[in-house]
């Protein structure tokens, strides 16, 4: 069962035991994000970069976390699985692509049935080509699903994979397939240093306004482990977001 379908079932069970949406939001707000990553996103936004999010999490998780850290307004787009609170107060999570009706068309083994990030990136690229074909793209990610979109980047683009995680292993084994320049990072400090260095380089080389030339694509997947969550019937097991901005 895909992660988002499993999470929808988990939300149903939590709701049946009295867990409120406010309790879920409180746990999400405790999700760890390295302060340098927060600083890097705010700096990139302040420099005029167009930030877009592509994620296998869901809108409720992402928007709750970003808003808590003052980052929501930094992003122009959030491309992810729909997540909303229904009339009964239960969080519902649905797949970005309804794989029960048809395939999204990508056959790459690293892509999930409910979302191919590569297809989303191609659509973003098509939109950008109409606005400004010279715009440089920086893609950041560390999940298996981030390999396919990395293949879609061009010679003048950059991919920022996190080292020693699934997507890094795939990239190392298939470097010849990646046209973009690879700029790896290992932690929040390196994330900020590498990202802002790339932005500075692009500004220096192109000598133009950044908002017209840099498009940053973030993969933000909130994967979950256990965390105690208060409910009407006592402590329940609820996931803690482990991977943010990958």
Q: What is the domain partition of the chain in residue ranges?
A: 3-241
Neighbours of 225 (CB within 10 A): 10
Q: Is 221 annotated as a binding residue?
A: no
CATH top-level class of 3-241: alpha beta
Predicted local confidence at residue 221, as pLDDT: 60
> Is the pLDDT at 174 greater than 90, yes or no?
yes
How much is the pTM?
0.85
For the chain, percent of residues with pLDDT exceeding 70: 86
Q: Report phi then psi at 11, rounded to 5.
A: -65, -35
As a whole number of angstroms, the distance between CA 164 and CA 114 comes to 25
User: What residues contact residue 138 under an 8 Å CB cut-off, 6+ apart?
Assistant: 157, 158, 159, 160, 195, 198, 199, 214, 215, 216, 217
As a whole number of angstroms, the distance between CA 57 and CA 7 comes to 10
State mean pLDDT over 198-210. 78
Q: What is the pLDDT of residues 9-67, one digit of tens each?
A: 999 999 999 999 999 999 999 999 999 999 999 999 999 999 999 999 999 999 999 99
Half-sphere exposure at residue 47, Cβ-oriented, CA atoms within 13 angstroms? 24
State mean pLDDT over 67-78. 97
Predicted local confidence at residue 207, as pLDDT: 64
> Is the pLDDT at 217 greater than 90, yes or no?
no
């Amino acid at each position: 069962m895909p992660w988002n379908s499993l999470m929808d079932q988990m939300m149903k069970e939590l709701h049946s035991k009295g867990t409120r949406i406010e309790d879920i939001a409180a746990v999400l707000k405790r999700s760890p994000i390295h302060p340098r990553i927060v600083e890097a996103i705010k700096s990139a936004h302040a420099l005029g970069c167009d930030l877009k999010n592509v994620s296998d999490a869901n809108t409720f998780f992402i928007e709750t976390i970003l808003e808590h850290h003052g980052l929501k307004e930094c992003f122009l787009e959030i491309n992810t699985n729909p997540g909303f609170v229904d009339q009964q107060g239960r969080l519902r999570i649905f797949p970005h692509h309804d794989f029960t009706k048809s395939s999204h068309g990508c056959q790459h083994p690293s892509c999930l049935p409910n979302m191919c990030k590569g297809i989303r990136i191609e659509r973003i690229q098509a939109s950008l080509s109409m606005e400004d074909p010279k715009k440089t793209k920086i893609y950041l990610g560390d999940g298996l699903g981030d390999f396919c979109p990395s293949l879609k980047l061009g010679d003048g683009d950059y991919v920022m994979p996190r080292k020693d995680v699934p997507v890094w292993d795939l990239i190392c084994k298939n470097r010849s397939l990646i046209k973009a320049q690879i700029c790896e990072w290992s932690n929040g400090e390196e994330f900020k240093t590498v990202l802002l260095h790339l932005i500075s380089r692009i500004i220096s080389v192109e000598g133009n306004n950044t908002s017209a030339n840099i498009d940053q694509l973030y993969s933000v997947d909130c994967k979950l482990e256990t965390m105690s969550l208060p409910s009407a019937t006592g402590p329940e097991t609820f996931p803690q977001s482990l991977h943010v901005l990958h």
